[in-house]
């Protein structure tokens, strides 16, 4: 051994020997065969072995057997190449307990550069590793149910899918969403909601057995990983089992509750090559199942397109108002006696840049869901009032405009005042604007709705109940709200035959309307037979393709002039309409 700088030869050797002896790190020296030649005090303390027990043995005395062959191959590869090896070893003490040791093994060379020994220094890092493990568990476990959480599920799915191709195996992911959980949570409180989730987790765990895995993805969403080769039939059986397991009532605070689930299934590798796609597809299938009223649904490729379309539409509609893609068509309501125009109904259209003109049934739910119905509704109102004003200024004989308003809009307490202001701003006669209340059955029995309607009444705006007869509570609205008009739903008109039930119904609506001095407008009049039957029943007004399709303002002006030019001084000729001389304007 050469001299150590700062020490005399002898002094250096003594200091180094004492340093090795007393250093807090454990030290072990072996020869190139791995035979232990030296261990220090810290080694004895750490392992529980005394010096004389291990000298002459190999380091395998402390091996735990918890490292892979690859770990040792890497170790020896380094050492034989003359490079140090660093790593955390899981070792075993004399008493059998395990510890984690952060270790560096360094080859020692003689003067000629030949490796003669290896020195391993290490320190016990069990505390740190234990803490890391606990933190990882915490980060990987759902604290409420004790199930693996989303991160853990994704992690395991990743590992599982990695080996999938090589093994030629398959797996399935079930995405489970509870039906109506929000109602339970909102009406019984979070504590009850939490208990329900814990119970659901327990039932799921009891239903599935290893190697399948249940995780809570968040909220009322759970996911299941089915490992190994699983046929569609096998997955089918598991879904049925899960549904059956959730069937018995859940015991809650004071009463028992029922809860069901919707399950979406995606299989790998067929339905997705990576965990994120697979989960997304299972989620899409779950929504499809929910849309059908529950139970379970396997993923089909066609669903992604539908989901993507829906997603795009949602984005598109946000831009539609700014891009002026909305426009209105108008459809006249005419007197069954004189043929004169009573009003024109404004009907919303969306000119989509890709799909062309779309009817409101397809996008009004989106407007409501996104809250856009409020600004768009206000725009419709302003546009329709401006149009009426413009016709009137041009001498076109259109006395009234009818505008549809959805229940969501009525919930807005400022709506009444806003609409009244628009009517006044356009200098329209009060009474030349009629609001059509759609989906009267959905009208909440709230004071807010009633006060909006009262504000409108005070401003002189008229009120019509649209699609009358379809909502079972329609009749009660006649008494509660300041109604001027009822519109008979087009289904009654379509199925009206001779003395049939629908004919009787129309007759009684006309009777009730008469006693309340209300206008009655029949919708969806498509044939001359319907026209004459409605006349005979004493119905006042009609709207429908037989008379005029929803059309652009200019077409409406032409239609109105045609009505005025009716022969024999009659304002509009019912006989002409009877003969089917309806305005055949282009419909959207």
Task: Report the half-sphere exposure of 266 (CA within 13 A, side-chain side).
Answer: 28
Minimum Å gap between C-beta 278 and ligand C2E is: 39
Q: Centre a 10 Å sphere on the Cβ of residue 210 and count the other Cβ atoms it contains.
A: 6
- For Mg ion, the binding residue among 124, 383, 457, 466 (CB under 5 A) is 466
Residue 147 vs 348, nearer CB to ligand C2E: 348
Tell me the per-residue interface mask from 518 to 557 with Mg ion, x by CB under 5 A, - otherwise.
-----x----------------------------------
Minimum Å gap between C-beta 521 and Mg ion is: 9
- For ligand C2E, the binding residue among 148, 339, 407, 544 (CB under 6 A) is 544
Q: How many residues bind Mg ion (CB under 5 A)?
A: 5
Binding positions for ligand C2E, 518-537, rule CB under 6 A: 523-526
Query: Which of ligand C2E, Mg ion, none has residue 545 at its interface (CB below 5 to 8 Å by kind)?
Result: ligand C2E
> Tokens 């505008």 belong to which residue?
403
Quick one: DSSP state of residue 583? B
Closest residue to ligand C2E: CB criterion = 544
Residue 193 vs 544, nearer CB to ligand C2E: 544
Minimum Å gap between C-beta 491 and Mg ion is: 10
- For ligand C2E, the binding residue among 550, 553, 572, 574 (CB under 6 A) is 550
- Write phi, then psi, for 268 (nearest 5 degrees): -110, 145
359 binds ligand C2E (CB under 6 A): yes
Going by DSSP bridges, is the β-strand pair 250-251/256-257 parallel, antiparallel, or unpaired?
antiparallel
- For Mg ion, the binding residue among 160, 436, 457, 573 (CB under 5 A) is 436
* Distant-in-sequence, close-in-space partners of 575: CB < 8 Å, separation ≥ 6: none
Residue 297 vs 409, nearer CB to ligand C2E: 409
364 binds ligand C2E (CB under 6 A): yes
Closest residue to Mg ion: CB criterion = 436
Residue 348 vs 449, nearer CB to ligand C2E: 348
Per the omega criterion (within 30 degrees of 0), is the bond before 269 cis? yes
Decide if 247 contacts 240 (C-beta within 8 A).
no
- Write phi, then psi, for 531 (nearest 5 degrees): -55, -50
What is the longest distance spanned by two Cα atoms in the chain? Answer: 138
Residue 268 vs 525, nearer CB to ligand C2E: 525
**Nearest residue to 45 via CA among 99, 89, 87, 1:** 99
- Rounded Cα distance, 299 and 279, in Å: 11
How far is C-alpha 559 from the chain's CA centre? 46
Q: Which stretch binds ligand C2E (CB under 6 A): 8-16, 83-91, 297-305, 544-552?
A: 544-552
DSSP 139-181: HHB-TTT-SB-HHHHHHHHHHHHHTHHHHT--EEEEEEEEETH
- Rounded Cα distance, 505 and 533, in Å: 13
Residue 374 vs 389, nearer CB to ligand C2E: 374
Query: Which of Mg ion, ligand C2E, none has residue 359 at its interface (CB below 5 to 8 Å by kind)?
Result: ligand C2E
Residue 177 vs 436, nearer CB to Mg ion: 436
Binding positions for ligand C2E, 423-482, rule CB under 6 A: 436, 438, 466-467
Minimum Å gap between C-beta 404 and ligand C2E is: 4
Q: Centre a 10 Å sphere on the Cβ of residue 532 and count the other Cβ atoms it contains.
A: 13
Burial track 83-114 (b if 16+ CB lie within 10 A, e otherwise): eebeeebbbbeeeeeebbbbbebbbeeeeeee
Query: Which of Mg ion, ligand C2E, none has residue 550 at its interface (CB below 5 to 8 Å by kind)?
Result: ligand C2E
404 binds Mg ion (CB under 5 A): yes
Binding positions for ligand C2E, 378-397, rule CB under 6 A: 380
Quick one: DSSP state of residue 60? G
- Rounded Cα distance, 526 and 530, in Å: 7
Minimum Å gap between C-beta 373 and Mg ion is: 15
- Strand ranges in 166-283 using DSSP code E only, listed in sequence order: 171-179, 213-218, 221-226, 250-251, 256-257, 260-268
Q: Which stretch binds ligand C2E (CB under 6 A): 32-40, 200-208, 226-234, 517-525?
A: 517-525
Tell me the per-residue interface mask from 183 to 222 with ligand C2E, x by CB under 6 A, - otherwise.
----------------------------------------
- For ligand C2E, the binding residue among 103, 216, 484, 490 (CB under 6 A) is 490
- Rounded Cα distance, 588 and 572, in Å: 25
Strand partners for 343: 333
- Rounded Cα distance, 219 and 508, in Å: 51
Minimum Å gap between C-beta 305 and ligand C2E is: 25
**Nearest residue to 462 via CA among 507, 521, 512:** 521
406 binds Mg ion (CB under 5 A): no
**Residue 448: strand, helix, or coil:** helix
Residue 178 vs 465, nearer CB to ligand C2E: 465
**Nearest residue to 119 via CA among 71, 59, 73:** 59
Residue ranges that bind Mg ion, judged by CB under 5 A: 404, 436, 466-467, 523
Residue ranges that bind ligand C2E, judged by CB under 6 A: 331, 346-348, 359-361, 364, 380, 404-406, 436, 438, 466-467, 490, 523-526, 544-545, 550
């Amino acid at each position: 051994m050469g001299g150590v700088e700062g020490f005399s030869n002898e002094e250096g050797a003594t200091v180094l020997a004492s340093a090795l002896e007393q250093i807090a790190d454990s030290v072990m020296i072996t020869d190139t065969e791995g035979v232990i030649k030296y261990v220090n005090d810290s080694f004895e303390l750490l392992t529980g072995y005394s010096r004389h027990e291990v000298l002459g043995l190999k380091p395998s005395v402390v091996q735990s057997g918890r490292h892979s062959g690859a770990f040792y191959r890497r170790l020896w590869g380094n050492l034989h190449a003359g490079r140090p090896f660093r790593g955390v070893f899981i070792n075993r003490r004399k008493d059998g307990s395990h510890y984690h040791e952060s270790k560096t093994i360094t080859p020692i060379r003689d003067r000629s550069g030949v490796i003669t020994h290896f020195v391993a220094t290490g320190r016990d890092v069990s505390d740190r590793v234990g803490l890391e493990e606990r933190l990882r568990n915490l980060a990987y476990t759902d604290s409420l149910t004790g199930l693996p959480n989303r991160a853990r599920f994704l992690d395991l799915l990743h590992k599982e899918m990695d080996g999938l191709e090589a093994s030629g195996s398959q797996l399935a992911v079930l995405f489970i969403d509870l039906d109506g959980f929000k109602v339970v949570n909102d009406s019984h409180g979070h504590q009850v909601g939490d208990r329900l989730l814990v119970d659901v987790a327990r039932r799921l765990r009891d239903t599935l057995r290893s190697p399948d895995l249940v995780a809570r993805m968040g909220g009322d969403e759970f996911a299941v990983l089915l490992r190994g080769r699983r046929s569609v039939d096998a997955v089918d059986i598991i879904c049925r089992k899960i549904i059956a397991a959730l069937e018995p009532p859940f015991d809650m605070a004071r009463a028992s509750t029922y809860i069901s689930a919707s399950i979406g299934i995606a299989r790998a590798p067929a339905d997705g090559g990576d965990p994120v796609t697979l989960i997304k597809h299972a989620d899409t299938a779950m929504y499809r199942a929910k849309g059908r009223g529950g139970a379970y649904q396997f993923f089909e490729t066609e669903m992604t397109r539908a989901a993507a379309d829906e997603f795009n539409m949602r984005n598109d509609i946000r831009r539609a108002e700014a891009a002026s893609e909305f426009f209105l068509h108008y459809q006249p309501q005419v007197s069954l006696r004189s043929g004169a125009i009573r009003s024109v109904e404004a009907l919303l259209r969306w000119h989509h840049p890709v799909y062309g003109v779309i009817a409101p049934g397809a996008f009004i739910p989106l407007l409501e869901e996104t809250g856009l119905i409020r600004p768009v509704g206000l725009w419709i109102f302003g546009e329709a009032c401006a149009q009426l004003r413009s016709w009137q200024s041009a001498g076109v004989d259109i006395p009234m405009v009818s505008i549809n308003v959805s229940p969501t809009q009525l919930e807005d307490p400022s709506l009444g005042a806003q609409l009244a202001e628009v009517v006044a701003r356009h200098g329209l006669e009060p009474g030349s604007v009629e609001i059509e209340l759609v989906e009267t059955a959905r009208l909440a029995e709230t004071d807010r709705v009633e006060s909006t309607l009262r504000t409108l009444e005070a401003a002189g705006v008229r009120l019509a109940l649209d699609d009358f007869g379809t909502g079972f509570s329609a009749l009660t609205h006649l008494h509660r709200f300041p109604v001027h008009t009822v519109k008979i739903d087009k289904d009654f008109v379509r199925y009206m035959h001779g003395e049939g039930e629908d004919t009787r119904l129309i007759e009684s609506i006309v009777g009730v309307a008469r006693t309340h001095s209300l206008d009655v407008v029949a919708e969806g009049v498509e044939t001359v037979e319907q026209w004459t039957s409605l006349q005979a029943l004493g119905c006042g007004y009609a709207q429908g393709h037989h008379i005029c399709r929803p059309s652009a303002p200019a077409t409406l002006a032409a239609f109105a002039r045609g009505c005025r030019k009716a022969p024999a001084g009659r304002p509009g000729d019912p006989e002409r309409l009877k003969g089917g001389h309806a305005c055949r304007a282009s419909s959207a």
